[in-house]
């Protein structure tokens, strides 16, 4: 009866752990503007190929102003001149002036990736309320050299003309992000973890004093995905180029990669219990 209680608790814990691995939706690229002069706005400038240019449309009272007509060395205002790009200006909060850059539908990872790969760099134009361009920043790359990712949230300081990427989207390799490849391994390990639990349960139910040769072989083979899962997670967490910053979630402080390895921790605990029971059974038979 005690063994059944152990396994009931283990399976409940396993289900709870699986429920902690829900996906987090993506958002448009968000830029926080710091130290913006009074009575000014910020517009994104892009340098698109001709195929991405569109006929300029009016945006409120901006038609005919300097920013609306701006075109310097191919740099044009994204909202007015570039197809499928728009800018949203949500209410300013305590962190400063906000600017959202949307491409196509504007809410998925694919759109952000397409935007960064298509335009590859951007500039910021500080504009007064009459549409006069007060300052144009240096160009900033949308393909960071030090991270395998795309900008998700940026901070631009208008006074110092400096930009910092706060959060990233991961880039893809062969159709999946590094975390996507890791998560595929994690899912496989969950299946093999369950198989190990069943094997351990059968061994305990038969009241054996040790694992058979076949059971030992099965345990080793079934443990390979879990070990690969742990190694993969360690690499993603500790290689700076791949360690793309994650946004805080409702489970802030509990890293996703740690959560997804918890099933193996449960399996390991049950394995220790099984070994202890085997030892106890051997003593009874001696």
**Per-residue DSSP letters for the chain?**
-HHHHHHHHHHHHHHHHHHT--------EEEEEESPPTTEEEEEEE---GGGB------TT-TTSHHHH--BTTBEEHHHHBTTEEEE-PPPBTTBEEEEEEETT-SSHHHHHHHHHHH-EEEEEEEETTS-EEEEPPPEESS-SSSSEEEEEEEEETTTTEEEEEEEEEP-BTTB-HHHHHHHHHHHHHHHHHHHHHHHHHHHHTT-SS--HHHHHHHHHHHHHHHHHHHHHHHHHH-TTT-PPPPP-TTTTS-HHHHTTHHHHHHHHHHHHHHHHHHHHHHHH-
Each residue's pLDDT tens digit in the chain (286 positions)? 455 554 454 444 444 444 444 443 445 788 899 888 888 889 999 999 989 998 876 656 678 889 989 999 999 999 888 988 888 877 665 556 788 888 886 566 778 888 888 999 999 999 998 889 999 999 999 998 888 888 888 999 999 999 998 888 888 888 888 888 888 888 899 899 899 888 888 888 888 778 888 888 988 999 999 899 888 888 887 888 887 755 544 333 346 666 666 777 777 787 788 878 778 777 777 5
- What pTM, to 2 d.p., does this model score? 0.68
Q: What pLDDT shows up at residue 137?
A: 94
CB burial of residue 272 (10 Å; 0-12, 13-18, 19+): exposed
Q: What pLDDT shows up at residue 48?
A: 92
Could you say which architecture CATH assigns to the domain 29-170?
Sandwich (2.60)
Domain boundaries, the chain: 29-170, 175-285
């Amino acid at each position: 009866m005690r063994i059944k209680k152990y396994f009931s608790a283990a399976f409940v814990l396993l289900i709870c752990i699986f429920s902690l691995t829900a996906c987090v939706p993506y958002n448009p690229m968000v830029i926080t503007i710091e130290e913006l002069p009074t009575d000014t706005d910020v517009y994104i400038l892009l340098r698109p190929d001709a195929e991405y240019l569109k006929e300029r449309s009016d945006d409120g009272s901006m038609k005919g102003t300097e920013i609306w007509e701006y075109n310097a060395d191919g740099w044009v205002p994204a909202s007015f001149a570039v197809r499928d790009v728009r800018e949203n200006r949500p209410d300013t909060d305590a962190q400063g002036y906000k600017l959202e850059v949307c491409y196509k539908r504007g809410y998925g990872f694919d759109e952000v990736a397409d935007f960064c790969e298509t335009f590859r760099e951007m500039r910021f134009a500080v504009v007064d309320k009459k549409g006069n361009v007060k300052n144009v920043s240096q160009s900033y790359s949308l393909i960071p050299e030090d991270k395998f990712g795309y900008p998700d949230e940026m901070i631009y300081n208008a006074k110092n003309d400096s930009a910092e990427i706060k959060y990233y989207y991961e880039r893809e390799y062969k159709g999946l992000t590094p975390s996507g490849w890791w998560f595929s391994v994690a899912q496989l390990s969950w299946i093999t973890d369950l198989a190990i639990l069943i094997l351990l349960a059968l061994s305990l139910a038969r009241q054996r004093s040790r694992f058979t040769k076949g059971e030992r072989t099965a345990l080793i083979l079934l443990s390979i995905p879990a070990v690969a899962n742990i190694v993969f997670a360690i690499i993603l967490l500790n290689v700076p180029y791949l360690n793309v910053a994650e946004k805080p979630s409702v489970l802030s402080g509990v890293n996703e990669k740690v959560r997804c390895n918890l099933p193996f921790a449960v399996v390991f605990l049950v394995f220790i219990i099984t070994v202890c029971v085997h030892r106890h059974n051997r003593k009874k038979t001696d």
